[in-house]
Structure 1
Amino acid sequence: MTLGEQFERYVLNALANHRLPLSKAAIRLLVMIAAHESGGFRYVKQMGNGPARGLLQMEPIGLEEVRRYVVLRPERFRSLRLPEHLDELIFNTELAIVCARAFFMAKPEPLPDENNIEGLAKYAKQHWNTEAGKARWEDYANAYRELNA
């Protein structure tokens, strides 16, 4: 079993524990983001003085988006305890995954097909990294493929 397959199982369990939608596309997207943003599971804190935290490198603005969405849709997040501080995502990977899933649930665009790795990578670039970020969509796709090689 590859590291990617192991982490997919972990993501699936995290989402199931919180009764969140666990489509294969969502799971692959989260695995892809973690693979790239953490440098292959090496970093949980952004290099330098950057604010991103956790394997998925969530930024403060992303966590604020999650907070707003959870308030709007409390029925979807009954078991979700949001972190008081972004640093909690360093030590609680399950919480980081759940926050990232909630972040994507707030997006109106549907996720690409689970087998469309390039489409998922472009979605990650557009919504997670944004046009202002340094990463390219190819970075996400390559990190996912390396994790599953």
Structure 2
Amino acid sequence: MPINKDQLRTLIVQPVLAVLDLPAPDVAENLLMGTAAHESHLGDYIQQVGGGPALGIYQMEPATLNDCYVNYLDYSTRAALKAKVDGFLAAQPVGSDGKPDKSAQLATNLAYATAMCRIRYYRAPGALPSDPNDLNGLAAYWKQYYNTPLGAGTVDQFIADYNRFLG
């Protein structure tokens, strides 16, 4: 059964975006909601169908999570943003090093997964669509920067899932 869209929006996505305080929160809000609607049908799938590595409502792969840290958040000039993101980590689950298992938390921690999805989009080289209600623009942005041009998802599928789960 999917997560209630209104609760996801108001209890998770909006508060996380407020803490991160990055540009275009209204556009990012609809982009994140659309990503969750398409990638996991708002939580129907927490682990990638078919046994792939993607986890959570945004179906982020651990390699993508790692890349967000190694090639972006771990730079000292972004320490404040990293601290905000890491502030969403829960004490559990932990890895073998005794520290929070960030990859596992993509599946178990909605706020952390939301923060990481926003960071993934924030790092994208293209500007977000200017209109938060431009569904075609949001879908094209998702396809280019989240699913990637070589990914199996399509703009039409994103739009259909957005309308189905968020309409």
What band does the TM-score fall into relative to the shorter chain? 0.7 to 0.9
Higher gyration radius (CA): 2
Q: Tell me how far 1:15 sits from its aligned partner.
A: 2.3
Say which is worse superposed, 19-28 or 52-61, in terms of deviation. Answer: 19-28
Alignment map for 1:1-149 (pairs within 5 Å): 3-9=4-10, 10-16=12-18, 18-21=19-22, 23-67=25-69, 68-72=71-75, 73-81=78-86, 84-112=101-129, 113-149=131-167
Q: Tell me how far 1:76 sits from its aligned partner.
A: 2.4
CA–CA separation in structure 2 for the residues paired with 1:41 and 1:75: 30
TM-score for the superposition, normalised by structure 1: 0.88
Q: CA RMSD in A?
A: 1.8
TM-score for the superposition, normalised by structure 2: 0.79
CA–CA separation in structure 2 for the residues paired with 1:108 and 1:132: 17
User: After the TM superposition, which parts of structure 1 deviate over 6 Å for at least 4 consecutive aligned residues?
Assistant: none
Q: Tell me how far 1:85 sits from its aligned partner.
A: 4.0
CA–CA separation in structure 1 for the residues paired with 2:50 and 2:125: 33
2:81 is matched by which residue type in structure 1?
Answer: R
2:85 is matched by which residue type in structure 1?
Answer: L
2:20 partner SS: coil
Report the identity percentage. Answer: 32
In the alignment, structure 2 segments of 5+ residues that lack a partner are 90-99
